Structure 1
Amino acid sequence: MKRSLLLLLLPISICISLLLVGPTLAHGPHIITVRSPTFSPDTLAWDPTSQHFVVASSRHPSLHSVSDAGVLQTLISDPHLPPNSSVLAVSVDSLRGRLLAVIHTPHPSLAAYDLSRPPLHPRLFLSPLPNLPTAVAVDSLGNACVAGSDFISKIDVDGQDSIFSNSSAVRSHPINGIAYFRMDYFLAVQSSTGKMYKIDGEDGSTRQVLLPKDLTGAIGIAIRGDGTAVVVGHHKAWFLKSDDGWAEAGIYDEIALDDRRAAKGVAVREGKRVYVLFGDLEEGSLGNEEFRIEEVESDREKEGENVWMLVLIGFGLVYFLYWRFQMGKLVREMNKKRE
């Protein structure tokens, strides 16, 4: 009796597993389309606490949230910012519930806002920056690392700034994207040279990461929870991994992005899902009414998922045939006993 029950339950459990796992592996990329005729963002971040994206524009002083349903809402509108201010880059400090925004004015600055106190989200500080900023990332201690045109600044949790790195690599070409890695260092990319740099989180020492080729046109970088770095250009994305602490790295996948829209920013959601911000079809033309936040996936990783799915199906088929054979044998044995 126990044997027959086991033979009956096992194929049922396998079928249920395939039904649950199959749709997960076969899901398409998540695309969020936002209709907004007057607002076109240039930077993207993910807020894990509120479960929404944060976007901002180099032509507007406000910061906005975007839901999975594509609902755009004003998150922060700071009336005390100087006239004609705009936002160049944003980063979420999820450990402390803060939103950091690089503000572009005649005198650039870094603003920090308290995300834990909605709906006003009061400003915590506004720290002046010594040069034109281009990107921002925050480390595990809450220090903001702001890349500029000549050097990289560090602003602590109280808004006190200092020069973090003024290496020749940073001075020669501006940093266009920067991200914090969990081992207390930053990874940064340059659009003009396609180079990647590893920046020590304590002393700011900067070393070039050896790559098989330049990532020319890189405009942003994000780090997944598994340590994969995703670098995005306007029409291309690179997936990189390193086995030696980013002294050198390999490009294990390179994918083409939408050639009709320019990528503006990149963010990682829930530690593993990569999203890219795409601008209008024709920037600056009349009639543009939407922007998109689109999930991008590595083709090689998707191939691995498909192989795993085929293995599961093959295992299920083999066991189904074995089950049929065993059930047939069991029926014959029961018929003999009746005779």
Structure 2
Amino acid sequence: MAKPSFFCFLRRPRFIFLLLIFAFLTSSALGRGQHVVTIPASIPFPSGLAWDATAQHFVVGSRLPPAAVSSVSDAGVSEVLISDPLLPSTSSVAALVVDDRRRRLLVALANPAALAAYDLRSPRPHRRLFLSPLPDPSAAPGGVTVDASTGAAFVTAGRVILKVDLDGTAALLSKSATYSADPSLAGLGGVAHVNHGYLLVVERGGAGRVFKVDEDDGATKEVLGKALATEAEGLAVRSDGGAVVARGGAGARWLRGEDAWGQAAVQDEAEVEEGRRAAAIVVREWRRAYVLVTPAVEGNESGEEKVSRIEEVEWKREGEGDMVWGFVLFGGGLVVFFYWRFQMRQLAANMNKKRA
């Protein structure tokens, strides 16, 4: 009897089944590819990045006066969200955050420094809820975040952190000597609220140090120093408790906190294309980090090389973990398959004995 050919073997159902399992698991392990959204030219000099989980789109501002904010879909389609004629003509957007629980958009403005809140339930362009001038109109905000439980907003401006309540009343939260008395500090940048009663704040530019700040009394501690950090712009917190930092021309950095963020360590790093910079960062769907990537040298944005983008950050450590889990699942699938095959053989043998 002739032996079955290799091609006959390929047509066997069990081989096809195994091949399908392997293709599915390895494709999952390798990931779905980097998600990149091109920002339309209708948004000049993008500044600030937020994610609206309810509306499922990004929110991007513009540093070009007068201040305006637009939504950007995953397909790169934009629509104006905020066009406020009552703002000063010199105002520009510095940072953004969405208070999803109350459906508010908080916009930190520069020239002069202020915090504005808009009702996302109102028709577009959305209605303004309040405009709160910051104490030092010349100190451009570096970041803004919100406590989801109370609705209180926190804004970094120069070397201070301000707390703004639901009515728009601003009060000084922190002017800690940890950073206010340090002549080398370039100013405070991105800020993120952590659900344990404190904030994480990064130094803007310079060494890019990271600070932990109590949201009630403003007590401050440096958790990542000059020896480990570099230039920083924005900050966001992942659902697993880690933090991600936009590092300008260096790209992005993933940090993990130790001892309730008593200190921080670098988990992973990701680079951006040469000639570009990571100007802001946001987390969507719990752990997926996206950076606002802009040209390192500002100029005419009409050329393709000058187009700004929103890019998903690809972490090497997560990619390696996906591969390991893919092969673990594949191995588990093989065990199940061969156990099933053994059971079917036993069943067939028992049926043959009964017939005999």
Deviations 1:234-254 (A, max 9, x none): 223221112311111221212
User: Is residue 111 from structure 1 mapped to residue 116 from structure 2 by the alignment?
Assistant: yes
Deviations 1:181-204 (A, max 9, x none): 111210011121221100101011
Instruction: Tell me the residue number matched to 1:162.
Output: 171
1:210–1:247 CA contact under 8 A, matched in 2? no
1:220–1:265 CA contact under 8 A, matched in 2? yes
Deviations 1:252-285 (A, max 9, x none): 2122222232111100112221111111475313
Deviation (angstroms), 1:293: 0.8
Q: Quick one: structure 1 residues 36 and 170, their matched pair in 2 at CA, closer, same or farther if it must change by over 3 Å? A: same
Segments of structure 1 that go 5 or more residues without pairing to the other structure are 1-10
Find the partner of 1:323 among 333, 336, 340: 340
Deviation (angstroms), 1:18: 7.0
Instruction: Tell me the residue number matched to 1:7.
Output: none
Q: Quick one: structure 1 residues 130 and 17, their matched pair in 2 at CA, closer, same or farther if it must change by over 3 Å? A: farther
Deviations 1:103-131 (A, max 9, x none): 222x3211111111122311111111122
Find the partner of 1:226 among 240, 243, 263: 240
TM-score normalized by structure 1?
0.89
More deviation, 207-216/78-87: 207-216
What is the letter of the counterpart of residue 278 of structure 1? V
Deviation (angstroms), 1:168: 2.0
Helix, strand or coil at the partner of 2:268:
strand
2:207–2:226 CA contact under 8 A, matched in 1? no
Number of residue pairs matched?
329
User: Is residue 57 from structure 1 mapped to residue 91 from structure 2 by the alignment?
Assistant: no
Q: How does 1:204-219 map to 2 (within 5 A)?
A: 204-210=218-224, 213-219=227-233
Runs of 4+ in 1 over 6 A off after TM superposition: 11-20
Find the partner of 2:191 among 178, 198, 215: 178
Deviation (angstroms), 1:338: 2.7
Q: Quick one: structure 1 residues 76 and 305, their matched pair in 2 at CA, closer, same or farther if it must change by over 3 Å? A: same
Helix, strand or coil at the partner of 2:276:
coil
Instruction: Tell me the residue number matched to 2:11.
Output: none
Q: How does 1:1-339 map to 2 (within 5 A)?
A: 23-25=27-29, 26-36=31-41, 39-60=44-65, 61-105=67-111, 107-131=112-136, 132=139, 133-140=141-148, 141-171=150-180, 172=182, 173=185, 174-190=187-203, 191-210=205-224, 213-234=227-248, 235-280=250-295, 282-285=297-300, 287-288=302-303, 290-339=307-356
CA distance in 2, matches of 1:170, 1:145: 17
Helix, strand or coil at the partner of 1:301:
helix
1:155–1:161 CA contact under 8 A, matched in 2? yes
CA distance in 2, matches of 1:51, 1:66: 9
1:167–1:205 CA contact under 8 A, matched in 2? yes
What is the letter of the counterpart of residue 79 of structure 1? P
Deviation (angstroms), 1:14: 9.5
Segments of structure 2 that go 5 or more residues without pairing to the other structure are 1-14
Q: Quick one: structure 1 residues 39 and 200, their matched pair in 2 at CA, closer, same or farther if it must change by over 3 Å? A: same
Deviation (angstroms), 1:210: 4.3
TM-score normalized by structure 2?
0.85
Q: Quick one: structure 1 residues 113 and 21, their matched pair in 2 at CA, closer, same or farther if it must change by over 3 Å? A: farther
2:201–2:235 CA contact under 8 A, matched in 1? yes
More deviation, 184-193/315-324: 315-324
1:152–1:170 CA contact under 8 A, matched in 2? no
Helix, strand or coil at the partner of 1:314:
helix
What is the letter of the counterpart of residue 70 of structure 1? G
Q: Quick one: structure 1 residues 21 and 121, their matched pair in 2 at CA, closer, same or farther if it must change by over 3 Å? A: farther
